[in-house]
Amino acid sequence: MREVCQQYRDRLKANVLIASDGPRLGPQRPTLFLGARGAFNFDMHVELRDGGHHSGNWGGLLSNPGIILAQALATITSPTGAIKVREWLPPPIPNSVRAALADIAIDGGDDAPEIDPGWGEPGLSAAEKVFGWCSFEVLAFSTGNPDNPVNAIPPRAKATCQIRFVVGTDPENFLPALRRHLDAHGFPMVRLERWKKAYFPATRLDPEHPWVCWAAASVAATTGAPPAILPNLGGSLPNDIFAVDLGLPTVWVPHSYPGCSQHAPNEHLLAPVARQALAIMSGIYWDLGEAGVPV
């Protein structure tokens, strides 16, 4: 898609991108989001020897890659998930973003997990943590043979990790910064491997942008209540192709909800949300033909 948009940039000139994808903040509240957090995936490896060795004969003599990798991971965040690699953190949250998130309550619906209030960056609201800050996750961890453990010290360990990041952080610096961090903490044996797939860059339109104000007013006129405005989605999508490559302000109007089982076999759409979505989008297209459209 990036190659197509770059090749036909002149044909794709526009005033704004208005699109639909992803979940609302909650089933009951219409939502606008203006960009997306970026996603950067990588693997951490500890590879010490060719094969396993009997844990009775060699336990206490051979270093265990699973323990080493677990200790290395523990230096990256606090025990409650706050990032300790300072170069991974964004600049302070802009005032316009804080204002937009001030009335945002995280509501995933009936099937959503319960939020852990003490997890993540201290001093931030739940909305600021997921829409205004960066997070680090360990997606998978393996050492030895988890499906059939044997009494042997494993030769290697691997963790697959992910950083979700917002505008203001440099993803090209993530692994160099982590390399310096691990070396400083005594883990030069941990090898870092960047995923071959390109990462999603982060994008964010200012919540006070004229197109945001216009779209919010249109949705409010249709539904009778102001929509939630998220400076960016917590997840990731290739919005940078439109925002950066094509230079468009981007306003997304999602019609799903967090409990939709996205990407699962039972992914679904709520009928009341779908009915309201038809009205919202009809109103937006109607209002595009009226006076007062941003220029």
Residues near 282 by Cβ (< 8 Å), separated by ≥ 6? 222
- The one-letter amino acid at 153: I
**What DSSP string describes 225-268?**
SPPEEESSBSS--STHIIIIIS---EEE---B-TTS-TTSTT--
**Token digits for 203?**
């994008």
Q: What is the Cβ-side half-sphere exposure of residue 34, based on CA atoms within 13 angstroms?
A: 27
Interatomic CA distance for residues 193 and 265, integer angstroms: 32
- Phi and psi for 195 in degrees, rounded to 5? -65, 145
Domains and CATH numbers, the chain: 2-37+203-288 (3.40.630.10), 38-90+134-194 (3.30.70.360)
With beta carbons less than 8 A apart as the criterion, state whether 34 and 252 touch: yes
Q: What is the pLDDT along the chain (295 residues), one digit of tens a residue?
A: 999 999 999 999 999 999 999 899 888 899 999 999 999 999 999 999 999 999 999 999 999 999 999 999 999 999 999 999 999 999 999 999 999 999 898 876 666 788 898 999 999 999 999 999 999 999 999 999 999 999 999 999 999 999 999 999 999 999 999 999 999 999 999 999 999 987 899 999 999 999 999 999 999 999 999 999 999 998 889 999 999 999 999 999 999 988 888 888 999 999 999 999 999 999 999 999 999 899 8
240: alpha, beta or left, given left = phi > 0 and alpha = psi -120 to 50? alpha
**Token digits for 142?**
């393996």
pLDDT score recorded for residue 26: 86
- The one-letter amino acid at 83: I
Q: Work out the number of other CB atoms within 10 angstroms of the CB of residue 253.
A: 22
The residues pairing with 250 across neighbouring beta strands, listed in sequence order, are 17
Q: Work out the number of other CB atoms within 10 angstroms of the CB of residue 18.
A: 20
Interatomic CA distance for residues 180 and 178, integer angstroms: 5
Interatomic CA distance for residues 160 and 145, integer angstroms: 16
With beta carbons less than 8 A apart as the criterion, state whether 53 and 135 touch: no
pTM value?
0.89
